[in-house]
């Protein structure tokens, strides 16, 4: 809790060479098929494949067998960013405006209710239990409030990737399914905005007289605007690749890999260099690509992304 703002923003650029990195990718190349097989085993007993990924992550993670250590997972930054980008693009691609516009008020009301009720309840709970939590007892009132706000914001977060995985596995369709998925994705986007504001609020509480309150309020919206613009740009790049008509499966996989590599590099650049919101950028990429030319590109995008989405879920669950 004594770390300064400068310490928090001091982000090193990970390397992509050396025996440690090669060993990390070699280990991951063995764990990915293993986690996939465990997921298939769980599916035979009518359980979600993600349950198998979770079990594999717990067993192979640094706190049990330590097959994949914390240092090794840090070296997998490119694969990690590609997987996160794939998950976010997949989430955005599920928001088709033609289906969403008729239920926009229903989705908005449910999303607002979930956000307000969950955030308020978690904030009040954090304030009430502060006296019984060791590390909160020694904080100043401002630090305590900023910690409570950040914690409540994190507790609001949901996982659209998990929802998409369950829906795909169960082949669920219908109005209720679309409403639930739309709510999960919309809440996830709003949480990104809320978390940015919460972080700036925490900085303002600790910055004293030297902190620019006006900039602290404007900065999250500038980051969000930048992320949206880059999302549109990345979406146009995806459209160019999707217009490439493939004649065989190998070319289709090459197209999917190209999208993921570009998205992964953009994800890293936006997160580590621009300090903006890479998840929001990728969600906007999927949304823009799907709705820009819906009839032509919707099915192509949804057919391309599953090539790497299982790897994305597996990698995130294998990490500590």
32-59 confidence digits (pLDDT tens): 888 888 888 988 888 878 788 888 888 8
Share of the chain above pLDDT 70, in %: 78
At residue 61, does pLDDT exceed 60?
yes
Which band of pLDDT confidence, cut at 50, 70 and 90, is reported for residue 124? Answer: very high
pLDDT number for residue 4: 40
Q: Which residue has the higher pLDDT, 274 or 316?
A: 274
At residue 263, does pLDDT exceed 50?
yes
227-242 confidence digits (pLDDT tens): 889 999 988 888 888 7
DSSP secondary structure string for all residues of the chain: ----HHHHH--PPPPS-SHHHHHHHHHHHHHHHHHHHHHHHHHHTT--HHHHHHHHHHHHSTTTT-SS-HHHHHHTHHHHHHHHHHHHHHHHHT--HHHHGGGHHHHHHHHHHHHHHHHHHHHHHHHHHGGG-HHHHTS-HHHHHHHHHHHHHHHH---HHHHHHHHHHHT--SHHHHHHHHHHHHHHHHHHHHHHHHHHHHHHHHHGGGS-HHHHHHHHHHHHHHHHHHHHHHHHHHHHHHTS--SSHHHHHHHHHHHHHHHHHHHHIIIIIS-S-HHHHHHHHHHHHHHHTHHHHHHHHHHHGGGTHHHHHHHHHH--
Q: What is the mean pLDDT of residues 99-107?
A: 81
pLDDT number for residue 92: 75
pTM for this structure? 0.69
């Amino acid at each position: 809790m004594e770390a300064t703002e400068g310490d928090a923003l001091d982000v090193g650029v990970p390397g992509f060479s050396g025996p440690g990195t090669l060993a990390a990718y070699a280990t991951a190349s063995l764990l990915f098929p293993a986690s996939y097989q465990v997921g298939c085993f769980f599916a035979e007993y009518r359980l979600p494949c993600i349950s198998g990924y979770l079990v594999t992550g717990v067993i192979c993670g640094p706190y049990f067998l330590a097959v994949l250590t914390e240092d090794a997972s840090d070296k997998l930054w490119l694969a990690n960013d590609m997987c996160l980008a794939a998950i976010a693009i997949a989430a955005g691609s599920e928001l088709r405006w033609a289906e969403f516009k008729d239920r926009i008020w229903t989705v908005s009301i449910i999303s607002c209710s979930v956000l307000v009720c969950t955030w308020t309840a978690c904030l009040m709970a954090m304030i009430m239990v502060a006296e019984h939590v060791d590390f909160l007892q020694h904080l100043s009132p401002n630090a305590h409030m900023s910690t409570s706000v950040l914690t409540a914001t994190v507790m609001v977060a949901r996982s659209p990737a998990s929802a998409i995985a369950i829906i795909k596995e169960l082949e669920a369709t219908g109005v209720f399914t679309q409403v639930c998925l739309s709510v999960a994705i919309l809440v996830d986007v709003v949480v990104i905005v809320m978390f940015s504001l919460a972080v700036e609020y925490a900085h303002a509480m600790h910055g004293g007289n030297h902190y620019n309150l006006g900039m602290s309020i404007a900065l999250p919206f500038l980051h969000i605007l930048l992320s949206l613009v880059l999302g549109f740009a990345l979406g146009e790049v995806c459209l160019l690749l999707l217009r490439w008509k493939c004649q065989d499966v190998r070319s289709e996989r090459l197209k999917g890999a190209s999208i993921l590599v570009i998205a992964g590099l953009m994800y890293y650049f936006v997160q580590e260099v621009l300090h903006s919101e890479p998840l929001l950028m990728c969600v906007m990429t999927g949304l823009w690509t799907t709705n820009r030319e819906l009839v032509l590109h919707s099915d192509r995008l949804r057919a391309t992304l599953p090539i790497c989405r299982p790897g994305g879920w597996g990698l995130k669950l294998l990490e500590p």
